[in-house]
Amino acid sequence: MATRKDELTQALIAYLLEHGLADVSLRPLAAGVGSSARLLVYHYGSKEGLLAEVLDAMQAHVHQAATKLFEQTSSKGDSPKLLRRFWDWAIADANFPYLKLLYELQILAIQDPDTYAPFLQRDAAKSLSLTLSLMSSPMRSASMATLCIAVFDGLFLDLMTTGDHARTTAAMDQFIKLAMASPPSTPATRKKTRKPKP
């Protein structure tokens, strides 16, 4: 059963999706969700605490949606196709605002690492864990998962900046082709291909 704080968090997400983070402060936030600044401080401690919890809720929403999406696809275990499927989901009109807000909040967190460092560490760990769990061998490695996350992040930030769906999607397709053509080497394969010393 949802608590009053859970309801407030969802209302705050809805408000931020509509209004963004420009000059965000407690009083407009409180008025926008039919509450008071005092009540928000009671539940979240501070504006920074509120945004950190909104970050966690947004991340959980995206991860749950991604997991459900991958469970429904017949290409589960095919890492490049899963990445493309998630890209299509992320840039769809219904989902783009959620991802955009999550990236905006992450940028805010990077600007204030003293306040948001714990979230940033959890976010990186959860994203890596989720990506690894969906990757198939021999592509499954921390380095390949990190590369996939970095490519997705970079292209999504580019899309946020330029609005160029065609170019960023073409770039994603190009990365997937490269990944499928050149699976990452393992220590064993590197050892086999190592040239003998003269």
The total number of residues written for the chain in this structure: 198
Q: H or E segment at 23?
A: none
Judge whether 52 and 89 are in contact, CB under 8 Å. Answer: no
172 to 31, 85, 88, 97, 99: CA distances (angstroms): 41, 11, 10, 20, 17
pLDDT of 164: 97
- The reported pLDDT for the residue numbered 133 is 78
Rounded Cα distance between 154 and 167, Å, is 13
pLDDT of residue 171: 97
CA distance linking residue 176 with residue 46, whole number of Å: 42
User: For residue 44, with 0-12 CB atoms within 10 Å meaning exposed, 13-18 middle and 19 or more buried, which class applies?
Assistant: buried
* Angstrom distance (rounded) from CA 105 to CA 25: 14
pLDDT for 91? 95
CB under 8 Å to 173, separation ≥6 — which residues?
A: 84
Contact 116, 59 (CB under 8 A): no
Averages of pLDDT over runs of 10 residues in the chain (198 residues) are 86 89 84 92 90 84 80 61 87 91 82 77 83 77 90 95 97 90 54 54
Q: How far apart are CA 95 and CA 63, in angstroms?
A: 12
The sign of the CA dihedral 170, 88, 103, 18 is positive
